[in-house]
Amino acid sequence: MTVDYVHLSPVILTDSMFFEMLPTLITTGTSTERQIAYLLAEQQMMQYLQTFLIPTFVTGTYMWPRPARSIRLDHCYLRTINRIRVTSLSGDCDCTLDENDACAIIRNTWGLIDARVTAYAVRARCGSCASGNFYQAVVTYEAGLSTGTSSQDKGLHMALAKVAEINLIELIDPGAAEGGPGDPTIESWSSVGYSQKRKSEDVKIFPWGGSPTANLAGRLVKHLKKIRPLRL
């Protein structure tokens, strides 16, 4: 049986990497506070990239498509399909589901698979109750950035360090963040007779905020962001 795996501690960021990427950092916090910031940064990065930061096994349940078409999984950077079972109505005039053997092909690493039932569990029908309607697909698969990318990609490391810095400031002194708590997007700023307006069309909102630092982190991992095609 495969058990869902969730990262409950940092898998990439360490103190050594954090201080190497941010050598002039003033707000360092305690070791415990930094570990929290590292974990939050990695969780937010996984949310943005829609995948894990290291190869990870996960199990998901998806409605069987009608009409038949491909299934979009929750994570991109798909590596293997380890197990797939398709459930169907048993035909016993209740809500019992039968499991049917199935297989799947990875169409592309951004999360699309083509699945088909290979062995169907046949049961007796009871009058007006119809069996054979495929209901759900339970898929166990491996997804995530490669270990080489996780350990060698300096853009990813810098981005994670920047995001961790944002979270660390939010944890220790939210008022010190540019724009205040929550790392909001800033389009204009003025102080003591000086004002500036930033180029707003380039400003985006990320899971970790919308400040210039947040946008820098987003640009650093742009090469890792897989864009889902508009049409399947």
Q: Read out DSSP for 9-65?
A: S-SS--HHHHHHH-TT------HHHHHHHHHHHHHHHHHHHTS-SS-EEEEEEEEPP
The whole-number pLDDT of residue 3 equals 46
The whole-number pLDDT of residue 194 equals 62
The whole-number pLDDT of residue 91 equals 66
The whole-number pLDDT of residue 2 equals 44
How far apart, in whole angstroms, are the C-alpha atoms of residue 101 and residue 61? 15
How far apart, in whole angstroms, are the C-alpha atoms of residue 208 and residue 42? 10
Task: Extract the tokens encoding 55.
Answer: 């190869």
- Residue ranges of the domains in the chain? 15-53+148-224, 59-67+87-140
| Burial per residue of 64-90, b for 16 or more beta-carbon CB atoms within 10 angstroms, e otherwise | beeeeebbebebbbbbebebbbbbbbb
How far apart, in whole angstroms, are the C-alpha atoms of residue 150 and residue 156? 8
| pLDDT tens-place values along the chain, 232 residues long | 444 557 889 999 999 999 999 999 988 999 999 999 999 999 999 999 999 999 999 999 999 988 778 899 999 999 999 999 999 877 666 778 888 999 999 988 788 899 999 887 665 555 445 555 788 999 999 999 999 999 999 999 999 999 999 999 999 987 666 656 666 665 655 556 666 565 555 678 899 988 889 999 999 999 999 876 655 5
The whole-number pLDDT of residue 123 equals 56
The whole-number pLDDT of residue 134 equals 86
Indicate whether this model's pTM tops 0.75: yes
